[in-house]
Amino acid sequence: MSGEFSHITVLLDEAVDALAIRPDGTYVDATFGRGGHSRRILAALGEHGRLVAFDRDPRAIEAGRALADPRLTLVHEPFSAFAGELDALGVTQVDGVLMDLGVSSPQLDDASRGMSFRFDAPLDMRMDPTRGETAAEWLARASVAEISNVLREYGDERFAYAIAKAIDAARQGGNVATTGQLAEIVAATVRTREPGQHPATRTFQALRICVNRELEELSLILPQAVSRLRPGGRLAVIAFHSLEDRIVKRFMRDNARAPALPKGLPVRESERPRPALGLIGDAIKPSAEEVRANPRSRSAVLRIAERTTAPFAGAPA
């Protein structure tokens, strides 16, 4: 099953190069997917190197088992379990953490996952189909205001309230249970849309982000990741959505600034507090050649930061 849908890894060279891999280091691929980044990391590691790869999708974990590399440990958990799972593995510090955020091509292209309006299938949208609430279940219980807020905040949908009202009207005759139903409701409500974009694009994106708590999970893993980095260790994050990238950008920026001191406090330069992170270069985007080869890469943004020797105030308790 895992080999049935292909996935082209985005910013493969750039992301792995950003980690500045040491052959005997310990690294975390927080989003294994179909293992593109992990394979490249393993190729750069020596015999005593180690890679821990997380993914909440059981099909990704299944695909990872095919690697059969003793240096690789697979973890079927979401971001929020990062620190606890490393503790369970006896991993106290790592040399690098890589995150490739968002949905993967196999998840979009597999009709049974219910993430795309291109297929008529059960409205699921969960990255982990074994846990949590489906999109259909959420839509069945959410208020019009809740639906409208999700579509507006996570999808930047200007017709959010009208779509929420249409969904509410439709569910009076039974739950909105399939992707086809939802796509039809949105298409009948949204009369204008950007050229080349399906009317339901923003709605499907917003519901997927909501059901999988994607932004909350990202906010939870970032401090956990930095708290586990050794001095000189790298954090590399690829974001595809502006809301994700904003969270990453602000987190790195804020932790690359030294803590503020009270005005007038006499402090020697050597005693001034230092930031926990140093920013490495500017944001990196796919080349025109990569975008031509893989149009889904066009919105990707890679940001890189390096751990300093300073204490990290945001470390989890």
Looking at the domain assignment, is residue 191 inside a domain?
Answer: yes
User: Is 36 annotated to bind ligand?
Assistant: yes
Domain containing 196 equals 128-211
Which residue, 133, 246, 255, 148, is CA-closest to 203? 148
Look at the alpha carbons of 109, 304, 151, 127 in this order and tell me if their dihedral is positive or negative: positive
Full-model pTM: 0.91
Class of residue 267 by CB neighbours under 10 A (exposed 0-12, middle 13-18, buried 19+)? exposed
Task: Flag whether pLDDT at 269 surpasses 70.
Answer: no
Q: What is the pLDDT of residue 112?
A: 83
User: Is 172 annotated to bind ligand?
Assistant: no
SS3 category, 15: helix
- Residue 185 makes CB contacts below 8 A (sequence gap 6+) with 163, 166, 167, 170, 176
Q: What is the pLDDT of residue 3?
A: 43
Which of 192, 211, 230 is the last residue before a domain boundary? 211
Let me know whether 290 and 169 are in one domain.
Answer: no
User: Is 107 annotated to bind ligand?
Assistant: yes
What confidence tens digit (pLDDT) does each residue in 286-298 have?
999 999 999 889 9
Looking at the domain assignment, is residue 123 inside a domain?
Answer: no
Let me know whether 65 and 195 are in one domain.
Answer: no
Let me know whether 204 and 280 are in one domain.
Answer: no
For residue 177, report the phi and psi dihedrals to the nearest 5 degrees: -110, -15
User: Is 32 annotated to bind ligand?
Assistant: no
Query: 159 and 120 in contact (C-beta within 8 Å)?
Result: no
CA 162, 211, 110 angle in degrees (round to 5)?
A: 100
Looking at the domain assignment, is residue 114 inside a domain?
Answer: no
Adjacency order of strands within the sheet including 229-239: 72-75, 50-54, 26-29, 94-100, 229-239, 301-307, 277-279
Q: What is the pLDDT of residue 267?
A: 60
User: Is 90 annotated to bind ligand?
Assistant: no
Cα 130 from Cα 168, distance rounded (Å): 27
Q: What is the pLDDT of residue 60?
A: 93
CATH number for position 222: 3.40.50.150
For the record, the structure tokens of 304 come out as 């890189």
Which of 163, 193, 211 is the last residue before a domain boundary? 211
Let me know whether 59 and 201 are in one domain.
Answer: no
Partners of 304 in beta bridges: 236
Looking at the domain assignment, is residue 273 inside a domain?
Answer: yes
79-109: buried (b, 16+ CB within 10 Å) or exposed (e) per residue? bbbbbebbeeeebeebbbbbbbbbbbbbbbb
Let me know whether 295 and 240 are in one domain.
Answer: yes
Per the prediction, the chain carries an average pLDDT of: 92
Q: Which DSSP state fits 66?
A: T
Q: What is the pLDDT of residue 245?
A: 97
Cα 235 from Cα 19, distance rounded (Å): 7
Looking at the domain assignment, is residue 36 inside a domain?
Answer: yes
Looking at the domain assignment, is residue 121 inside a domain?
Answer: no
Q: Domain tally for the chain?
A: 2
CATH number for position 179: 1.10.150.170
Res. 107 pLDDT band, cuts 50 70 90: confident
Let me know whether 180 and 153 are in one domain.
Answer: yes
What confidence tens digit (pLDDT) does each residue in 193-246 have?
778 788 999 999 999 999 999 999 999 999 999 999 999 999 999 999 999 999
Q: What is the pLDDT of residue 272?
A: 65
Let me know whether 86 and 219 are in one domain.
Answer: yes
Which of 188, 211, 234 is the last residue before a domain boundary? 211
Cα 290 from Cα 285, distance rounded (Å): 10
Let me know whether 195 and 225 are in one domain.
Answer: no
Let me know whether 37 and 155 are in one domain.
Answer: no
User: Is 241 annotated to bind ligand?
Assistant: no
Let me know whether 165 and 223 are in one domain.
Answer: no
Q: What is the pLDDT of residue 1?
A: 36
Let me know whether 207 and 222 are in one domain.
Answer: no
Looking at the domain assignment, is residue 237 inside a domain?
Answer: yes
Looking at the domain assignment, is residue 252 inside a domain?
Answer: yes
User: Is 100 annotated to bind ligand?
Assistant: yes
Let me know whether 221 and 97 are in one domain.
Answer: yes
